[in-house]
Each structure stands twice: as C-alpha cells, then as structure tokens.
Amino acid sequence: MLRYITAGHPPFILIRDNKALLMPQPGKEKNHLPIPFLKNASYGSTCFQLQENDQLLFYTDGLTEMTLRNLKTTMTVDELRHHVQTLLDDFHGATGRTMPVSALTAALLERISALSRETVLPEQGNSKSVNTSSDDITLVGIEIETFNQSVTKTVYPKTAAAVSGFVQEILTLIFDQKENTAYRHMKTRAFMILEEALTNAWKHGNNMDPDKPVTLCFDSRNDFVFEITDQGTGFDYCNLPDPTSAENIQKDSGRGLFILRHFSDHVEWKGTGNHILIFLKKMKTLDNRVDMEKPATCVGIWGKN
C-alpha cells in the first residue's frame, strides 16, 4: 500500500500492464502547496494499492518546464504521460516485453531533452552531470518486485572447472527464459563476471574446501542481479591495491576484482566482504536495439564505482 502527499509536485506516473496513467492528486487543490509556502499548512494524503510489476515515475517540474527556454511553453503532465506511453509502445512493439524502468527513465530524459533542444545528462561515475536548462531536474523510476521469485542455488565445487560448469548452467537457465532472449548477447559478459566472482568465493573465501558451500541468488526480471555468499571471513574491500599501477601491472594476480568492477554496472560488498552483489542493467538504445556489451561507463578509476 502506497500512502502519499504531493506538496507542490506534479502528479507522478503509474505504469501498469504497459499503460501509463496519472496518479490522482490527494486532497483538495489548496493542500498541494510546497512545504515552505505557508506556516502550519495542512496536506491531504491518499492511499493506493500497488501491484507486482507496477512501475512509478517521480519527477520535479524541472522536467516539464525544460521546454520553456527554447520553445516558450511548458509541457503538460498529460503530454509527458503521452511521451511515456509512446516509449512503452515502441519498446513492446520491438521486443514483445515491458520496458525496464531503468531504460524508461534514461529514454524519457533523452527524449524530453531533445524536444527541448537542451542537453541534460545525469552524473555517471567520473562524468559530471550536464544541464543546460534553466531549472534543476529530478527523475526517479521504481518498480515493484516480489523477491520471493528470486532463485537461489547452492554449490560445493571441488575444482575450477566445476565452478565454470555451474556458471554455464545458471546462465543457460537465465537466458533461455523467454523474457531474456533479447539479452542473449550479454551472456559472454555475464559469464566472465560470474566465473570470476564465484571462483573468488570458492578459492579465496572457502579456501577450495569442497565441504563449504557457495550460494548464488539471482534475479533477472528488471535488471540482472547476482548475490554471492561464501563461508570465508571476508577481506578489506575498501583498501585494495590498484592492479593498473606501475608496481602491480606486471603481477600475475590481483586483476579479478578489477574485472568485476569494470564489466559490471555496479558492485557492492556487504559485511566483512564474503557477500557480494553484482548488477547488470538491461538498457535500450535509441535505435531500438538492446546494447549492453559496452563496459560500464561508471568505472574509470580503480576503487571508484
């Protein structure tokens, strides 16, 4: 159940069954004032029952006012909703699937920027954000998922070859799913990442002990998410030597985590370091082709992610 107030923000957009809908404004119109507008102002709230696979787009008026400087007009919320619906329809027509919310937010920002003759790019890793429009812009997309649909596998590898075989089994399971057939070109990249992460868990975490398990939990509905846990004591993942530095470049070890960081879209460790999460985004390019073979642009300096 979602309970919300607007406090001056325009209606956000609900996407359900591939249809873009404007969420109702709660309470009376006079209760939609920005928070610092009046002292002791009251705000009406409302509740809405969300469903699995619902998507929500939250945005500030900087998005709808991006057209103001060059086109001398603002975009109505219904016009914005229409742009969202067009992107959804185009993606579904090309792939037969629902557009991932991460791809939708990126495509929507690019479309409104082009329409407004502005350049608006979010911050990505070492690349600073760019905004030539006259206002700040915030655009956030979320998707309601049920994590009990995630799949968990446990393996007790005895050899490195067993690890590779397990990775191949998992990726075959993922990419044979109908909704993921358009992303099969990612399989080689995913194999390299998972083989490295699981080998690290078996070799360094479990010390190659065949009686110790390595657990993999994965989800592939919105983006590809892999969660790996070993039985080791962990390591100091915040202070790692740079394998690209002059003193380390000739060494025959120490590049595994560099590979993970470079070819994943996001990597994070939990706890002592024996628990890792790896994210691979499903994205859609402007020519309606899925293109995820390029390494993540968010990684340019060792230790930055």
Indicate the pLDDT class of residue 29, thresholds 50, 70 and 90.
Answer: low
Q: How much is the pLDDT for 52?
A: 82
Helix axes 187-200, 256-263, angle to 10 degrees: 140
- β-pair partners for 4: 46
Q: How much is the pLDDT for 303?
A: 41
**Per-residue pLDDT averaged across 24-28, rounded?**
70
Residue 128 and residue 183 in one domain: no
Classify the C-alpha dihedral 46-52-55-58 as positive or negative. Answer: positive
Alpha-carbon distance of 5 to 101, in angstroms, equals 23
**Per-residue pLDDT averaged across 101-124, rounded?**
88
The burial class, CB within 10 Å (0-12 / 13-18 / 19+), for 271 is exposed
Residue 254 and residue 137 in one domain: no
Q: Residue 140 above 60 pLDDT?
A: yes
pLDDT cut 70: percent of the chain above it: 85
Three-class SS of residue 110? helix
**Per-residue pLDDT averaged across 19-35, rounded?**
74
The distance between the two most distant Cα atoms of the chain, rounded to a whole number of Å, is: 69
Q: Which of 143, 174, 191 is the last residue of a domain?
A: 143
- β-pair partners for 131: 120
Total tally of structural domains belonging to the chain: 2
Indicate the pLDDT class of residue 177, thresholds 50, 70 and 90.
Answer: confident
CATH of the domain at 54: 3.60.40.10
Degrees to nearest 5, angle at CA 21 with 89 and 124: 70
Q: What is the mean pLDDT of the chain?
A: 81
Burial code of 173-182, b = ≥16 C-beta within 10 A, e = fewer?
Answer: ebbeeeebeb
Three-class SS of residue 48? strand
Residue 267 maps to a domain: yes
**Per-residue pLDDT averaged across 174-200, rounded?**
85
Indicate the pLDDT class of residue 146, thresholds 50, 70 and 90.
Answer: low
Alpha-carbon distance of 255 to 267, in angstroms, equals 15
* DSSP codes joined into one string, 268-284: EEETTTTEEEEEE---B
Q: Which of 143, 161, 190 is the last residue of a domain?
A: 143
Q: Residue 241 above 80 pLDDT?
A: no
Identify residue 228 by its one-letter amino acid code. I
Residue 139 and residue 178 in one domain: no
Query: How many Cβ atoms are within 10 Å of 227's Cβ, its own excluded?
Result: 17
**Per-residue pLDDT averaged across 201-207, rounded?**
94
Q: Which of 112, 143, 174 is the last residue of a domain?
A: 143
Alpha-carbon distance of 34 to 53, in angstroms, equals 30
Out of 102-116, 120-134, 187-201, least confident range: 120-134
Residue 269 maps to a domain: yes
Mind listing the pLDDT tens digit for each residue in 45-100? 778 888 888 999 999 889 999 998 888 889 999 999 999 999 999 999 988 888 88
Residue 288 maps to a domain: no
Cα 17 to its chain centre, rounded Å, is 20
Q: Residue 151 above 80 pLDDT?
A: yes
Using an 8 Å Cβ cutoff, are 305 and 267 in contact? yes
**Per-residue pLDDT averaged across 139-144, rounded?**
88
CATH of the domain at 212: 3.30.565.10
Indicate the pLDDT class of residue 253, thresholds 50, 70 and 90.
Answer: low
Which residue did the predictor score with more confidence, 129 or 232?
232
pLDDT cut 90: percent of the chain above it: 36
- β-pair partners for 300: none
Residue 68 and residue 169 in one domain: no
Identify residue 128 by its one-letter amino acid code. K
Residue 153 and residue 116 in one domain: no
**Per-residue pLDDT averaged across 244-250, rounded?**
76
Indicate the pLDDT class of residue 174, thresholds 50, 70 and 90.
Answer: confident
Which of 129, 146, 115, 137 has the alpha carbon at shortest distance from 50?
146
Which residue did the predictor score with more confidence, 284 or 138?
138
Three-class SS of residue 2? strand
**Per-residue pLDDT averaged across 191-196, rounded?**
92
Domain interval for residue 75:
2-143
For strand 224-229 and strand 275-280, is the pairing parallel, antiparallel, or unpaired? antiparallel
Residue 15 and residue 89 in one domain: yes
Cα→Cα distances 37→4, 34, 44, 169, Å: 19, 5, 15, 58
**Per-residue pLDDT averaged across 137-145, rounded?**
86
